[in-house]
Amino acid sequence: MTDAKELNRIRVQAVADGVGEVAVTIERKWDVVRLQMPVLADSRERLDRQARKCNEALFGRNLRKSISTASPC
């Protein structure tokens, strides 16, 4: 693996770890279903879409496209 690829892998892993830690903390406090209930349907749809994009970027699918659109997870 080249140095640049290894550096990118480390960066992605750092982001994934941070996102995962925040998600687990919030889910423990509020429960996943309760987190979505007070959100309006259109907002919930946007949240779900962003979560899907974030997961796709973190797990390697469409990674180049995800980076080029630069939308935060």
Residue found by looking up tokens 């949240």 in the block: 47
pLDDT score at 30 = 74
Residue 70, domain member (yes or no): no
CB atoms within 10 A of CB 23: 14
pLDDT score at 34 = 65
Residue 37, domain member (yes or no): yes
Residue 8, domain member (yes or no): yes
Q: How many domains does the structure of the chain reveal?
A: 1
Residue 43, domain member (yes or no): yes
| pLDDT mean over 67-73 | 51
pLDDT score at 58 = 74
What residues make up the domain containing 16? Answer: 3-64
pLDDT score at 37 = 66
Residue 73, domain member (yes or no): no
- Asked whether the beta carbons of 54 and 73 are under 8 A apart, the reply is yes
Q: What is the pLDDT of residues 2-56, one digit of tens each?
A: 788 888 888 888 888 888 888 788 778 777 666 666 667 778 788 788 888 887 8
Residue 69, domain member (yes or no): no
At 33, is the secondary structure helix, strand, or coil? helix
Read off the pTM: 0.45
Residue 72, domain member (yes or no): no
